[in-house]
Structure 1
């Protein structure tokens, strides 16, 4: 009997433990670039390993580690280029080596294809753990140097003839890396396709939820009004015990709302969780990746629920939408505990859920980019409870008191100084963005440089042009893919 009770207790803990966030700080679980859905079965390339320096900027530090990469030579033709897909804030996938738009270009131009996983993500573990003393080696600068040394290493290993042109591909943060790689190492990289890459580091990313709202309005004004009304009802329900109990039941919260803490970070975390549902759907709306559990949940899906008056009052409809997304993700309950989230992100071991990339990406936002998606610009719509201070506090609570606003302001200024932000001076780069993707606000969408044009695709989402084509693709997306292919052809004809 005692064993049975212990088992029940453990099961209870499993059900009420932290439900790790599927969307955190604009990052989807496992990285912002999903996997392509393969049209048939392939024998995928095996893991390969490249010996990489731990610190590229200290010539007295000879420590090395093994970085994972993939190679596919199936489409290579003598005299062809080399294509490099840059890994980002998640595990690199071998599926990208056999399908995806860059593979179509590889077939067209007879390219040898490589994909390099980003340090500290996936299986590429430079250090024994994710402690702060080790994560000082996690930065975009180190990642770019990894790419440079990798290119030189592959040129030697595969005896690639001198003068062979390398073209880099990246989506989301790797889209930024692709552009910066061409700018910083033009002798190694001849051109780059940068999809949905934010070039401007910015602490308070207010525009993010402004674009989310605009995307919801493409369905209807009624959808937006319902969100606002639902949040107003939540405000009221939080003021009394019966309302708090009602919220727990409606939104299937993992634990009751503490009556004495209705204005604490827990509540801010709750509101930010609910807002992130909208962000996740909008950012990936109809992007053809289909590898996400929520990929079939679109703007139309959630707005149809929110405008369906037969479901109940606005807060009921918002709960219905939330529960649909939770069910799709396999979540038993919605965990809004701030301290649980912080404790999970403090875990420095590789064998924990946050180590799939959550802690690492949090570190990069706290030390390089900011990118904090705040509610400041739309407080009536998504609540006023998660301003920029809420996110800076997370940096301090996770990594320590020195990771504060002063450090972050200096770090963001440094990033923009190093790379040029939206004044990046570069050639043979094409910047591709979708109008629905909130990240386009920090990207190059109006380039006046004919050698580095921008393609802005109305009605498409994050990295949409990178996924395999679909019959449902709008014509402007198809045209964008064709234009990128034309530009690559021009680069390959011309010298640096």
Structure 2
């Protein structure tokens, strides 16, 4: 008898009633839950694999900074301790402060060590470089747990206020130079934070660099699957796109004509699909859609598209549905057992509030809360220009938010929060300068980013054949010509924004003058 496996690619609202195929094995279930959540979190927040080697671990120092629990409630004087990393080896008096923002992930040494581009910038500009951890992520635990009531303290405004206090602390207490120039940088949500900090606190940051930054809050993020499909055609094949298109539409037709039992057998799910429960049907299709999207994006390697297509277009499957089922069962189930479609169980995992839970370590519950209350970015099949059919709607995500966080969550509260975020931060047209915006041309998340020049002092680069945040790593021999050009431009623009007269140029002029004397 096979154990049950819970694949939590998302959360859903209704419970499934069906005949169980196997008895649940909790140990096995949690193993694969962690694996799948790690894949999803890697796509949403991290920029390189967590186990990337750190060539100079001794250079990066862990520190802690005390700030207010609630910056916007003068009656609350409570404080908490935020974690950050520092690498001050290159600093010289008058040099800049360079801060990399962790965003939705725990900060790790590679963000600012010698494998990073910001490290190279610090070396060239004689700056001190820091990694800043967002509240509720990593080791920056602000409350006793992650209850919904406590998560009211998790918002972009609170994170930016933490960062404002942190910048002031570095200037006054650490470097003792209130006039030190400051760069804020980050990737994905961290890139959004860098952009918004420059918008909201321009007096505290002289420059910003947003790599694949999420800047535009979107309720119905139907553009994601559109762009993913374009990348699949470009780096996989049109035949592969067609196979997925046919597979999903045939699966929809099977459910419509009462043959859901065929999918029950092919996909090795633990319980039958309740065809009268439209939310569960949405969840089933969303699970399948997200699995293939995550698989091609998690490693930031465009060759993964070709790998998936090789599997899906192999001639050993009789139909497109058979080919997709074989790929899915191999990549996400293997020998661990059947796939859980019990929505109550999925919600239960997302409702874990303990700091020691696996969902905390991956930042999954926290990310979901911020999506439900501020940003959306809910992937749907509402566009006709994607291969996944039409069964995944915004209603699914509204139910997710309400089931996990409470009845106060609704479509209206979600829409209000998303509208408020864009009104506060400027969506894809913020009024800001001295910022550089970069994106990978193959990254579906670029549709929530800024890919156009805002003005002569807020330029954008879209890097061909790249996925998310390829430009944050140090210059490498393996970089494409286009990527190398963008990395060099980042260095040049950051230097010019921090110092209208480049300190490297000044140093060279001084040396030349000394030689002439």
Give TM-score scaled by structure 2 length: 0.85
Is residue 2:175 matched to residue 1:159?
Answer: yes
Out of 344, 355, 360, the position equivalent to 1:355 is: 360
Deviation at residue 341 of structure 1 after TM alignment: 1.6
Moved more, 449-458 or 90-99: 90-99
Alignment partners' CA distance in 2, 1:30 and 1:44: 28
Q: State the superposition RMSD in angstroms.
A: 2.7
- Counterpart residue number, 1:291: none
- Counterpart residue number, 1:234: 251
- Counterpart contact for 1:209–1:378, Cα < 8 Å: no
Alignment partners' CA distance in 1, 2:110 and 2:337: 30
Deviation at residue 320 of structure 1 after TM alignment: 3.4
Is residue 2:27 matched to residue 1:14?
Answer: yes
Deviation at residue 274 of structure 1 after TM alignment: 1.6
- Aligned counterparts, 1:93-492, within 5 A: 93-98=108-113, 99-218=115-234, 219-238=236-255, 244=261, 247-248=263-264, 250-253=266-269, 255-258=270-273, 260-261=274-275, 263-284=277-298, 286-287=300-301, 298-326=304-332, 333-356=338-361, 357-378=363-384, 381-492=387-498
Deviation at residue 193 of structure 1 after TM alignment: 0.4
Deviation at residue 261 of structure 1 after TM alignment: 4.2
Alignment partners' CA distance in 2, 1:273 and 1:175: 28
Distance 1:171 1:156, change over 3 A: same
Out of 75, 86, 90, the position equivalent to 1:75 is: 90
State the Cα deviation string for residues 283-333 of structure 1 (Å, max 9, x = none).
45645xxxxxxxx971111111112223442223213332453279x9655
Distance 1:331 1:382, change over 3 A: farther
State the Cα deviation string for residues 215-272 of structure 1 (Å, max 9, x = none).
111022101100012223433554689863x54554343x1324x4464433322211
Q: Secondary structure at the match of 2:344?
A: helix
- Counterpart contact for 1:283–1:436, Cα < 8 Å: no
Alignment partners' CA distance in 2, 1:44 and 1:321: 43
- Counterpart contact for 2:221–2:379, Cα < 8 Å: yes
Moved more, 477-486 or 26-35: 26-35
- Counterpart residue number, 1:5: none
State the Cα deviation string for residues 72-93 of structure 1 (Å, max 9, x = none).
1122233321110111112111
Alignment partners' CA distance in 1, 2:291 and 2:303: 11
Aligned length: 475
State the Cα deviation string for residues 460-495 of structure 1 (Å, max 9, x = none).
111111134444432211111111111012113228
Alignment partners' CA distance in 2, 1:29 and 1:121: 16
Out of 3, 19, 28, the position equivalent to 2:42 is: 28
Deviation at residue 447 of structure 1 after TM alignment: 1.6
Alignment partners' CA distance in 1, 2:242 and 2:44: 32
Deviation at residue 167 of structure 1 after TM alignment: 0.6
Distance 1:434 1:404, change over 3 A: same
- Counterpart contact for 1:19–1:335, Cα < 8 Å: no
- Counterpart contact for 1:269–1:337, Cα < 8 Å: no
State the Cα deviation string for residues 347-384 of structure 1 (Å, max 9, x = none).
22212222221111111011111111111114872132
Which stretches in structure 2 are left out of the alignment for 5+ residues?
1-21, 502-517
- Counterpart residue number, 1:57: 72
Distance 1:15 1:237, change over 3 A: farther
- Counterpart contact for 2:214–2:445, Cα < 8 Å: yes
Moved more, 213-222 or 149-158: 149-158
Q: Secondary structure at the match of 1:169?
A: strand
- Counterpart contact for 1:25–1:371, Cα < 8 Å: no
Alignment partners' CA distance in 2, 1:352 and 1:396: 21
- Counterpart contact for 2:101–2:131, Cα < 8 Å: yes
